[in-house]
Structure 1
Amino acid sequence: MGGGRGSKIIITTRSREVASLMGTVSPFYLQGLSPDECLSLFKKCAFDKGQEESHPNLVEIGEEIVKKCRGVPLFVRSLGCSLYKTTNESDWLFVRESKIWNEERKENEIGAALKLSFSLLPSCLKPCLAFCSIIPKGDTFSSYFLIHSWMANDLILVPSNDDHKELEDMGMQYLKELVFRSFIYIGNFYLSSSLSLRMPDAIHDLVRQVAQSEHLRVSSMAENVSGNVRHLSLHLTPNMISQQPPESLKKMRNVRSMHLFPSDAKARQNRVVLLATKSVLEMCISRFQHLRLLVLFGSSFEKLPNAIGTLKHMRYLNINGNRRLKGIPASICRLQSLQSLDLGMCLRLKTLPDNMGNLVSIRSLVITTQQMLLPAENGIECLSSLRSLQIFSCFNLKNLFKGVDRLENLRELVIDGCPSLTSLPCSMKYLRVLEVLVVSNCAKLALDLTREEGKDGSTGNCGLLSLRTLAIQALPELKSFPPWLLQGSANTLRELAIVSCPELMALPDELQNLSSLQKLQLSDCPKLKSLPAGMQNLSSLKEFIILLCPELSSRCRPPFGGQDWPKIAHVPDFYLDGFKVNPSSNN
Structure 2
Amino acid sequence: VTKTILEEITSICDSSQNLNQLQLKLKEKLLGKKFLFVLDDVWNEKYVDWEELRSPFCFGAKNSKIVVTTRNESVASIMRTVPPYHLNILSDEDCWELFAKHAFVDTSPSMHPNLTATAEAMVKRCKGLPLAAKALGGLLRCNLDVDEWNKISTSNLWDITDGILPALRLSYYYLPSHLKRCFAYCSLFPKDYEFKKEELVRLWMAEDLLLNFKSKEEMEEQGKEYFKDLASRSFFHQLSLDKSCHQLSLDKSCFVMHDLISDLAKSVAGEFFCRLEGCDNLCEINQKARHLSNVQENYDVRKKFETLPKAKGLRTFLSLKSLPCHSYVTNKVMHDLLSKSRLRVLSLAKYCNINEIPKEISKLKHLRSLDLSGSSIKSLPNSLSTLYNLQMLTLFRCSNLVELPKDMGRLINMYYLNIRGTMLARMPKGMGKLKDLRTLTDFVLGEQNGSSIEELGKLKHLHGQLAISGLKNVACARDAKSVNLKDKMNLKELEFRWKKHTYGSEVLGQFEADKEVLQQLEPHTNLEHLVIGFYRGTRFPEWVGHSSFLNVVSVHLRGCKFCHSMPPLGQLSSLKSLSISGFSAVVKVGDEFYGSGHALTKPFGSLEHLRFEDMPEWEEWFCFKVEAFCLLQELSIIDCPKLTKNLPKHLRSLTKLEIRNCENLESLLPRTTSIRQLNLRRCDALRLGPLPCGLQKLQIRDLNIDDSMLEKMVQHCSHLKKLAMLDCSKLKILPEGKLPITLKELNIERCPVLDCSKILLYTALESLIIEGKCHKLESFPLGSMPMLNYVSIWECEDLKSICASNGSHQHL
TM-score, structure 2 as length reference:
0.57
**Would you say the 8 A contact 1:411–1:436 is kept in 2?**
yes
Shift of 1:163: 6.6
Matched with 2:179 is: 125
Percent of pairs identical after alignment? Answer: 27
Q: Does 1:437 align with 2:492?
A: yes
Shift of 1:334: 0.2
Matched with 1:250 is: 309
Distance 1:369 1:141, change over 3 A: same
Bigger RCO of structures 1 and 2 (CA < 8 A, at least 6 apart): 1
Deviation string for 1:133-177 (max 9, x for gaps)? 212221222223211110111001146xx7796221111111111
**Would you say the 8 A contact 1:468–1:495 is kept in 2?**
yes
Q: Does 1:183 align with 2:242?
A: no
Question: Which amino acid is the alignment partner of residue 288 of structure 2?
Answer: N
Matched with 1:57 is: 114
**Would you say the 8 A contact 1:402–1:452 is kept in 2?**
no
Matched with 2:730 is: none
**Would you say the 8 A contact 1:47–1:84 is kept in 2?**
yes
Distance 1:434 1:383, change over 3 A: farther
Shift of 1:534: 4.3
Matched with 1:232 is: 292
**Following the alignment from structure 1 to structure 2, what is the Cα–Cα distance between the partners of residues 494 and 213?**
52
Write the mapping of 1:77-476 to structure 2, written as runs, cut at 5 A. 77-104=134-161, 109-158=163-212, 166-186=218-238, 187-189=240-242, 191=245, 194-219=252-277, 220=279, 223-238=283-298, 240-241=300-301, 243=303, 245-246=305-306, 248-261=307-320, 265-266=322-323, 270=324, 272-286=325-339, 288-299=340-351, 300-322=353-375, 324-367=376-419, 368-375=421-428, 377-378=429-430, 380-391=431-442, 401-403=452-454, 404-415=456-467, 425-430=480-485, 432-439=487-494, 464=523, 468-473=526-531
Deviation string for 1:529-557 (max 9, x for gaps)? 7576349799xxxx966334897996364
Matched with 2:628 is: 555
**Following the alignment from structure 2 to structure 1, what is the Cα–Cα distance between the partners of residues 226 and 653?**
35
**Would you say the 8 A contact 1:315–1:337 is kept in 2?**
yes
Matched with 1:582 is: none
Matched with 1:521 is: 576
**Following the alignment from structure 2 to structure 1, what is the Cα–Cα distance between the partners of residues 515 and 534?**
23
Bigger drift between 301-310 and 8-17 goes to: 8-17
Shift of 1:350: 1.9
Bigger drift between 350-359 and 496-505 goes to: 496-505
**Would you say the 8 A contact 2:292–2:318 is kept in 1?**
yes
**Following the alignment from structure 2 to structure 1, what is the Cα–Cα distance between the partners of residues 551 and 98?**
31
**Following the alignment from structure 1 to structure 2, what is the Cα–Cα distance between the partners of residues 304 and 240?**
18
**Following the alignment from structure 1 to structure 2, what is the Cα–Cα distance between the partners of residues 183 and 476?**
46
Bigger drift between 334-343 and 549-558 goes to: 549-558
Shift of 1:116: 1.5
**Following the alignment from structure 2 to structure 1, what is the Cα–Cα distance between the partners of residues 272 and 218?**
28
**Following the alignment from structure 1 to structure 2, what is the Cα–Cα distance between the partners of residues 132 and 535?**
54
**Following the alignment from structure 1 to structure 2, what is the Cα–Cα distance between the partners of residues 427 and 445?**
25
Deviation string for 1:295-349 (max 9, x for gaps)? 1122222110101111110000011111x21120000000000010111110001
Q: Structure 1: any 5+ residue segments left out of the alignment?
A: 513-518, 559-574, 580-585
Shift of 1:47: 2.1
Question: Which amino acid is the alignment partner of residue 628 of structure 2?
Answer: R
Question: Which amino acid is the alignment partner of residue 389 of structure 1?
Answer: L
Matched with 2:73 is: 16
Q: 2:94 aligns with which of 20, 23, 37?
A: 37
Shift of 1:179: 1.7
**Would you say the 8 A contact 2:103–2:141 is kept in 1?**
yes
Matched with 1:566 is: none
Distance 1:449 1:40, change over 3 A: farther
Question: Which amino acid is the alignment partner of residue 78 of structure 1?
Answer: A
**Following the alignment from structure 1 to structure 2, what is the Cα–Cα distance between the partners of residues 239 and 24?**
33
Question: Which amino acid is the alignment partner of residue 184 of structure 2?
Answer: A
Bigger drift between 545-554 and 170-179 goes to: 545-554
Deviation string for 1:373-429 (max 9, x for gaps)? 322x22x2221111110139x89999984121111222333329x6x7668844333
**Following the alignment from structure 1 to structure 2, what is the Cα–Cα distance between the partners of residues 22 and 310?**
50
Question: Which amino acid is the alignment partner of residue 373 of structure 1?
Answer: R
Distance 1:555 1:236, change over 3 A: closer
**Would you say the 8 A contact 2:318–2:347 is kept in 1?**
yes
**Following the alignment from structure 1 to structure 2, what is the Cα–Cα distance between the partners of residues 577 and 117?**
49
TM-score, structure 1 as length reference:
0.77
**Would you say the 8 A contact 2:545–2:568 is kept in 1?**
no
Q: What secondary structure sits across from 1:213 in the alignment?
A: helix
Q: What secondary structure sits across from 1:211 in the alignment?
A: helix
Q: Does 1:75 align with 2:129?
A: no
Shift of 1:279: 1.5
**Following the alignment from structure 2 to structure 1, what is the Cα–Cα distance between the partners of residues 144 and 128?**
24
**Following the alignment from structure 2 to structure 1, what is the Cα–Cα distance between the partners of residues 601 and 355?**
56
Q: Please report the RMSD computed on the Cα atoms of aligned residues, expressed in angstroms.
A: 4.3
Shift of 1:213: 1.9
**Following the alignment from structure 2 to structure 1, what is the Cα–Cα distance between the partners of residues 275 and 231?**
24
Question: Which amino acid is the alignment partner of residue 255 of structure 1?
Answer: L
Q: What secondary structure sits across from 2:393 in the alignment?
A: strand
Distance 1:358 1:553, change over 3 A: farther
**Following the alignment from structure 2 to structure 1, what is the Cα–Cα distance between the partners of residues 409 and 179?**
34
Q: What secondary structure sits across from 1:212 in the alignment?
A: helix
**Following the alignment from structure 1 to structure 2, what is the Cα–Cα distance between the partners of residues 104 and 210?**
14
Distance 1:62 1:441, change over 3 A: farther
Matched with 2:739 is: none
Shift of 1:15: 1.8
Deviation string for 1:17-40 (max 9, x for gaps)? 432344232211233444333333
**Would you say the 8 A contact 1:370–1:395 is kept in 2?**
no
Q: What secondary structure sits across from 1:10 in the alignment?
A: strand
**Following the alignment from structure 1 to structure 2, what is the Cα–Cα distance between the partners of residues 482 and 43?**
56
**Would you say the 8 A contact 1:294–1:317 is kept in 2?**
yes
Bigger drift between 312-321 and 144-153 goes to: 144-153
Deviation string for 1:484-513 (max 9, x for gaps)? 5799x96xx88432145589955469857x
Distance 1:422 1:309, change over 3 A: same
**Following the alignment from structure 1 to structure 2, what is the Cα–Cα distance between the partners of residues 371 and 395?**
9
**Following the alignment from structure 2 to structure 1, what is the Cα–Cα distance between the partners of residues 550 and 288?**
47
Distance 1:254 1:39, change over 3 A: same
